[in-house]
Amino acid sequence: MTGFADHRLAVNGQEIACSVGGEGPPVLLLHGFPQTRALWWRVAPVLAGRFTVVTADLRGYGASSKPEGVAAYTFREMGRDMAALMAVLGFPRFDLVGHDRGARVAHRMALDDDGGRIGRLVLMDIVPTHHLLSQLERKVAAGYYHWFFLAQPFPLPERLILSDPDFYFESCLLGWGASRLEDFDPGQLTAYRAAWRDPETVRAMCDDYRAALKLDFALDAADLGRNVPHPALVLYGAEGAMARAYDVPATWAGRLADMRAKAVPGGHFFIDTAPEETAAALMEFLA
């Protein structure tokens, strides 16, 4: 991204890749599966006109470390990486935006935020992890089958995916609502493909989903009934799988104390397919 500096910093026992640009109050942007921080290429420069913007690859994704073991991939551990990253960059307090897996990391960071590090919180196109898994319906299981496929024991999903990673991961991009491959920026697709063709990235992404079923569900169960106090915005794709299956804002009632919600045109990957609308919604809330 023009005007952004790339770094790979040692934090929390990992090497986390990030890009930093802009000037003003800091905001951290977290991507989801099966993407990288390239997700924000068309949104981050808009925000950088008013904020210092940090985009980071979650551990296991992109150019960040890919540690061994399912326990390394809880949302809590991923969140610790990001809190440490922002501290190293000199931002003890920051606004936080996450999409998909990044939103689940952001929610866990907010639950664990006992030091007032997080200001505003934006969660994009997810329902709470515990809600999705504890009240699973047929149509959700059919659309989000990958949660259970990727969580199968090593090396089953890895070997099947690596037989044709572009075919598998592009089917994910196109399968969760109102997207065509031509809707994605060619440069972003190139970055995504370079990442998901790496066998270690595929293994790490599978461990991410294994951790969600084996560990994160229990961590979230322990926090049921807790309200996150941070001012929060829930954004979701108006034509996406989550909006078709749920009243997305209602799933967050009782979990976000100060919440507003907004639908954005498109499906699950509305950040890629509707970057202008996404940037405008973020600017309105964060500013």
Among 6-10, 134-138, 161-165, the range scoring the smallest mean pLDDT is 134-138
Domain boundaries in the chain? 4-286
Task: Tell me the average pLDDT across 83-94.
Answer: 98
Position with higher pLDDT, 179 vs 119: 119
Can you give the pLDDT at residue 114? Answer: 87
Query: What does the pLDDT look like over 193-232, one tens digit per residue?
Result: 999 999 999 999 999 999 999 999 999 999 998 999 999 9
Task: Point out the catalytic residue in the list 57, 95, 100, 272.
Answer: 100
To the query of whether residue 100 is one of the catalytic residues in this protein, the response is yes
CB-CB contact of 251 with 141 (8 Å)? no
Query: What does the pLDDT look like over 227-264, one tens digit per residue?
Result: 999 999 999 999 999 999 999 999 999 999 999 999 99
**pLDDT band at 104; cut points 50, 70, 90:** very high
Mean pLDDT of the chain: 96
Looking at the chain, how many residues does it have?
A: 287
What sign for the dihedral angle of Cα 45, 18, 258, 249? Answer: positive
Position with higher pLDDT, 39 vs 139: 39
Name every residue whose Cβ is closer than 8 Å to that of residue 81 and which is 6 or more positions away in sequence. 11, 12, 14, 16, 58, 59, 64
Task: Point out the catalytic residue in the list 31, 107, 146, 268.
Answer: 268
Can you give the pLDDT at residue 87? Answer: 98
Q: In this structure, how many other beta carbons lie within 10 angstroms of the beta carbon of residue 139? A: 11
Task: Tell me the average pLDDT across 54-69.
Answer: 98
Query: What does the pLDDT look like over 139-191, one tens digit per residue?
Result: 899 989 999 999 999 999 999 999 999 999 999 999 876 578 988 999 999 99
Decide: pTM greater than 0.95: yes
- Cα distance between residue 99 and residue 255, in whole Å: 17
Domain 4-286 grouped into CATH 3.40.50.1820: yes
Can you give the pLDDT at residue 1? Answer: 84
Task: Tell me the average pLDDT across 1-20.
Answer: 96
